[in-house]
Amino acid sequence: METPWLTPEQLAAWVRLLGVVELLPGVLDSQLRRDAHITHFDYYVLSQLSEAPEHTLRMSALADRTTATLARLSHVVQRLEARGLLERFPCPTDRRATNARLTDEGWRVVRESAPGHVATAREYVIDALTPEQITQLTAITDALLRRLDPGDSRAAIHRRYDAV
């Protein structure tokens, strides 16, 4: 079966999506490196811990939430631990597992860097769109996520901020 080529309209949309996927991470990373001396992925890890009960998650759950391999996450966590932003310790209910917990210093970094991160998200994405386009963006990304995550295993992560 031959793959149908993209129409000009589809190609235009595809190339623009690739542009956003390529450029946005660098913009987010630059702001956080400048203002908080952390990468965007570091911030994502810290923010996931900040939203967890007692600021603690099993490493496997943290890897799932951040879509990181355990090897990549372990490397990042080791670096953040060396900076005093989080700590690892044996899981009290399963000694085979390891937990990660945000330290007071890590919580301070998340709180202090969040306004700049939100301002950057607003400047480059949210404020560039009308309220109608925001609604459309949610619908578009939902459709893409259904294809990228067909089992909906990450649905709770993506929908936890939906308006009630």
> Do the beta carbons of residue 82 and residue 63 sit within 8 Å?
no
Which domains occur in the chain, in start order?
25-116 (1.10.10.10), 129-159 (no CATH)
Residue 30 has pLDDT above 60, yes or no: yes
Kindly report, residue by residue over 100-115, the tens digit of the pLDDT.
Answer: 999 999 999 999 999 9
Structure confidence at residue 156 as a pLDDT band (50, 70, 90): confident
Kindly report, residue by residue over 44-53, the tens digit of the pLDDT.
Answer: 999 999 999 9
